[in-house]
Structure 1
Amino acid sequence: MLEKEKEALAKRIAGEITLSSDPGKTMRKWREIFGISQTELAEYLGVSSSVISDYEGGRRKSPGASTIRKFVEALLEIDERRGGNVIKAFSKTIGSELPTSAILDIREFALPLTIRDLVGAVKGDVVANMHLLDRRIYGYTVVDSIKAILEMSSEEFLKLYGWTTERALIFTKVTTGRSPMIAVRVQGLKPAVVVLHGVKKLDELAVKLAERERVPLVISHASSEAELITGLRRLVEKTEKEL
């Protein structure tokens, strides 16, 4: 299944770990992107959970090529057993940075950040679920809300999530925020955080939906879409420099 995509993804993961200044942190990032617990990964590899924990916490020396290869193979094999959702998501990004015209920008972070980091980058105010700002995120998608609502099918809407739902969905050209939050609720998949840009008068229903879904809701006060995206790309650059 998707052999070329698997190979490309394997090379990317292995490359990031090998080149990272903190290989353990990068291993943890990818394990969490795949939604695999330390216990499940350890069982597949035939080691104790403490071994995985020690690598991720930097308590073991940097993994060698053989360990990295086994780690990557384990992630891909476990994902395939579950239906290959991460591999399929990766395949949709190959050859097209923006898989639909509604997406203005989509990026993955080299290292995970918190929602709190994102709030500063988008000049945001948190209006729902302030207590969840330490949740880790692995990327973001900026989407034109009007095009998304009017033009995107359910299948295309899933492309907003890139490789993982543990990301920020950022909607521009928003008036009240109601439609984006309804779309998120109806689609079933929940992002880690929703950011609304251009809000003129926030609808109370948007806040209530965010609270019900336990998704932090942020209002961005960036002066334009360009400023919004510039702030986000600086976050990407920051994580790349830390590798």
Structure 2
Amino acid sequence: MADNASRENIRQRLAEKMAGEITLSEKPGETLKKWRLNFEIPQTDLSGYLGVSPSVISDYESGRRKSPGTLIVSRIVEALLEIDSQNGGQKIHSYESMLFSDNTSRAVYATYEYTFPMQLAKLASLIEADFVNRGIEKPLYGFTVVDSKKAILELSSHEFQKLYGWSTERAMIFTKVTTGKSPLVAIRVTNLKPGAVVIHGLRGNEVDPMAKKMAEIDRLPLLATTMDIDQLIGNLKKYSQYHVME
């Protein structure tokens, strides 16, 4: 019974990681193909299990068909895992050690908690950020600086939520972004929402309009800055030393 529960836990965590990576990817079709090839499952086997034409899977993977939604992604992920289970579960088992290693720390540059909150305008001033979307302003009780690529590629949805520290009312600062879309997608598919999202490495007019749209839907403050990351972290940490005087 315990072994069955352990296997189910591994499978569930792997499903979360796979679905999250596919959904959050800038190119979900390519990521879907990567996972199918990782499991060494032919398109015909996958399409047969799902009851669709092989051309449907091919169209998703090539980008000819509109990116699959979360429901379709979940079905495909479940199909890959079930086919592997029927074949002995060797691929699922091979991912066990990676799933239970501590990847969270590698995705985080810095995390900090404030005793007294910071207002959004002060955040923007300290990091010289442009407002992309104003959203609903909330007091910020800390910040987390995240390597967006590592967070999206390495963390399950459960691990992603650990990035919030002691409070969700914080600024989530994503580095190494190219368009700004992936961090917003990551936040959209989790239950927890930060007090503000900061895109590092882009100016406000360079952020993808889709990222702005997602921020508008979730009513999230969205900012963008190109300040040196060490200076940015230093400025935000210093806030706790002088906020009492303001």
Distance in structure 2 (CA, Å) of the matches to 1:104 and 1:210: 23
The AA in structure 2 aligned to 1:150 is L
Distance in structure 1 (CA, Å) of the matches to 2:117 and 2:232: 19
CA displacement at 1:199 relative to structure 2? 2.3
SS in 2 for 1:236: helix
**Match for residue 157 of structure 2?**
154
Structure 2: tracts of 5 or more residues without a match: 1-102
**Match for residue 116 of structure 1?**
121
Question: How many residues are matched?
Answer: 142
**Match for residue 65 of structure 2?**
none
How does 1:1-243 map onto structure 2 within 5 Å?
A: 100-129=105-134, 132-133=136-137, 135-199=138-202, 201-222=206-227, 224-239=228-243
CA contact (8 A) 2:104 2:155 kept: no
SS in 2 for 1:232: helix
- Runs of 4+ more than 6 Å apart: none
Distance in structure 2 (CA, Å) of the matches to 1:238 and 1:156: 33
The AA in structure 1 aligned to 2:184 is M
The AA in structure 2 aligned to 1:233 is K
CA displacement at 1:99 relative to structure 2? 5.3
Distance in structure 2 (CA, Å) of the matches to 1:163 and 1:236: 16
SS in 2 for 1:142: strand
1:23-50: CA deviation from partner (whole Å, max 9, x where unpaired): xxxxxxxxxxxxxxxxxxxxxxxxxxxx
Distance in structure 2 (CA, Å) of the matches to 1:217 and 1:100: 24
SS in 2 for 1:158: helix
Distance in structure 2 (CA, Å) of the matches to 1:99 and 1:152: 7
Structure 1: tracts of 5 or more residues without a match: 1-97
CA contact (8 A) 1:137 1:166 kept: yes
CA displacement at 1:195 relative to structure 2? 0.3
Higher alpha-carbon Rg: 2
Give the alignment's TM-score, normalised by structure 2. Answer: 0.54
Distance in structure 1 (CA, Å) of the matches to 2:237 and 2:199: 17
Distance in structure 1 (CA, Å) of the matches to 2:242 and 2:104: 25
CA displacement at 1:234 relative to structure 2? 1.4
Distance in structure 2 (CA, Å) of the matches to 1:181 and 1:99: 19
The AA in structure 2 aligned to 1:230 is G
Distance in structure 2 (CA, Å) of the matches to 1:119 and 1:221: 12
1:36-95: CA deviation from partner (whole Å, max 9, x where unpaired): xxxxxxxxxxxxxxxxxxxxxxxxxxxxxxxxxxxxxxxxxxxxxxxxxxxxxxxxxxxx
SS in 2 for 1:164: coil
**Match for residue 69 of structure 2?**
none
SS in 2 for 1:187: coil
**Match for residue 76 of structure 1?**
none
RMSD: 2.0
